[in-house]
Amino acid sequence: MQQTAKPAGLPARLAAMPTKSKMMLGGGVAALLAVIVAMSMMTAKPDYRPLFSGLSDKDGGAVIAQLAQLNVPYRNDPGGVIMVPANQVYDLRMKLASAGLPKGGVVGFELMDKQSIGQTAFNERLNFQRGLEGELTRTITAMADVADARVHLAMPQQNGFFREQQKPSASVMLTLRGGRTLDRAQIAGIVHLVSSSVPELNPKAVSVLDSTGALLSQNPDGNAIGLDSQQLQYKQQVEANLNKRIAELLEPMVGRDNLRSTVTADVDFSQVESTAEEYKPNQGPNTQSSVRRLTSEEQSGGAAGTPTGVPGATTNQVPPQAAAPINGQAQPLQPAGQSGGTQNLRRNNDTQFELDRTVRVTRNAIGQIRRLNAAVVVNQKTVTDKNGKTSSQPLSENEIQKLDSLVKEALGFSQDRGDSVKVLSAPFVSDKIENADVPLWQQPWLRDVARDFAVPAALVLVALIAVFGLVRPALKAAFPPPVEQKDDTASNAALSVVEDEQLALGGPRGPGGLPALEAPISNDKLERARQLAKANPIAVANIMRAWVNGEELETAAPAGARR
């Protein structure tokens, strides 16, 4: 019995490999290492966060130079955005701030920190103005809707020798972010901010413009040219609410998609202030009342009469109240206890009549609706006949009048205001939109998936090719499968016998020493069965039926078939 040789070690097997197998194994291992390194780099890619955004070219270059000195990986994205690893954002901001970066294109009151010895009053005033402009610019750009701003201040020098001093003024240039607008309150806030930061600056002297040159602030006289954004928004809201009323009222009657309405509102945004004066008598319509009366008396003539009568309480009483008519002749005054004498008395009454004066100041409200125009189109109704065929028919006049009345009530129709409402029934044209059959490989989602997984899939494919195409064949050549050995005693005994011992091998021997095979069986019976099937197919069919049914052959087969 032979002993198997001990297999050689790995170095010996690799050294015994042919050159082609060695090259295949080396290329496969190198490809696998490259795939592993690429996958590790993709998975270990650091998460970048923005360090600064919106930097100018000058500040961005200074920040990038400082990051290069600190050996920090960075990425410069469009829009002045510098990206750094997320775990170093706050540390880098503190380090760059200590270095004075970013400096920014706008300077503030830090200009006043650097004072030279020979600085004049004009330079000090100019630096103060520049610092104030820079601080206002920083404050305005802190707003969410403002991307950039520039502030120009006109601050004349105050001189006590002039009686009339020139007042300061300001101009603000705004660059808004994409798709953003400022409402009236925000513009008023900017104007108030600038006017409050400069002494004796009137808010009317502050002009605010956008990047297109459009004036955002109101004119000094307070009247805006045209409609501003807030007025347009109010007009659109009024029209949208009226359209919503019509839709909510008519859709339950005609259907959801069977109605189209449009409302145009003429809104008056003008500020009207009227003053009226009315004059009327103080009393009723048929009476007149004096407001002012002037009485003059003149007395001339002889000596006054001597008092007569019994002295006492009667003579000491005051004279009675004169009862002189307004338009008649006045009666002469008679003192108490005194008789008439030779004297002339003249009395003049001057009465002035004035009317009641009423001054009424009326200021109309802003945003009143002057006129409404509404147009409503209703789809024709669908009618099905007895045969099941559908057709469209226009609405009757009675139905249109009912819809017209409902629309007028929903709008608050006013004939005196000149409103107009038109309701029309017409067929709606429905365009059949055919969905284009886009192939699967042209679907956007498939393109995105392929773009995201193309590199990982390619790396996996390279790894599979390297394993099954290079490494595996080389390993098979280096490590062949072991030969199976049978330990059966009978087999060993049969192999160790002499060639001419036919009994030990279990049969006769052939010319090459191999066991002789049995001769093929004669096919005479098969030929007779074929001849019988050709001569008498019915009998053969009966025999087969009998075999299938389990019947005996004598009863199932005819006499001719049993031959």
On whether both 85 and 139 belong to a single domain, the answer is: no
- Structurally, how many domains does the chain consist of? 4
On whether both 250 and 140 belong to a single domain, the answer is: no
Q: Which two tokens stand for residue 446?
A: 């498939």
On whether both 84 and 145 belong to a single domain, the answer is: no
Q: What is the DSSP letter of 214?
A: -
Residue 129 lies in a domain: yes
On whether both 70 and 207 belong to a single domain, the answer is: no
Q: Which domain holds residue 255?
A: 243-269+367-383+391-426
> Are 54 and 80 within 8 A, CB to CB?
yes
Place of tokens 């199932």: 556
Q: 489-534 pLDDT, tens per residue?
A: 544 544 454 444 444 444 555 555 555 555 555 567 778 888 888 8
- The kind and range of the H/E element at 104 are none
3-class state of residue 503 by DSSP? helix
Residue 538 lies in a domain: no
Between these two residues, 479 and 406, which has the higher pLDDT value? 406
pLDDT at position 29 is: 82
- Check pLDDT > 50 for residue 68: yes
pLDDT at position 499 is: 44
Average pLDDT rounded to a whole number, residues 209-232: 71
Biggest distance spanned by C-alpha atoms of the chain: 209
Residue 419 lies in a domain: yes
On whether both 252 and 379 belong to a single domain, the answer is: yes
On whether both 379 and 418 belong to a single domain, the answer is: yes
Q: Model's pTM, two decimal places? A: 0.43
On whether both 72 and 144 belong to a single domain, the answer is: no
Residue 315 lies in a domain: no
On whether both 203 and 264 belong to a single domain, the answer is: no
Residue 494 lies in a domain: no
Residue 448 lies in a domain: no
On whether both 371 and 417 belong to a single domain, the answer is: yes
With CA atoms as reference, report the closest residue to 536 among 560, 563, 553: 560
Q: What is the DSSP string of 196-242?
A: HHSTT--GGGEEEE-TT--B-SPPTTSPPSS--HHHHHHHHHHHHHH
Which of 420-424, 539-543, 558-562 is predicted least confidently? 558-562
On whether both 33 and 86 belong to a single domain, the answer is: no
On whether both 179 and 145 belong to a single domain, the answer is: yes
Average pLDDT rounded to a whole number, residues 230-236: 83
On whether both 152 and 66 belong to a single domain, the answer is: no
Q: What CATH number does residue 205 fall under?
A: 3.30.300.30
Q: What CATH number does residue 72 fall under?
A: 3.30.70
Q: What CATH number does residue 375 fall under?
A: 3.30.300.20
Beta bridge partners of 275: 361
Residue 340 lies in a domain: no
Residue 264 lies in a domain: yes
Q: 328-352 pLDDT, tens per residue?
A: 555 555 554 444 455 677 777 776 6
- Check pLDDT > 90 for residue 242: yes
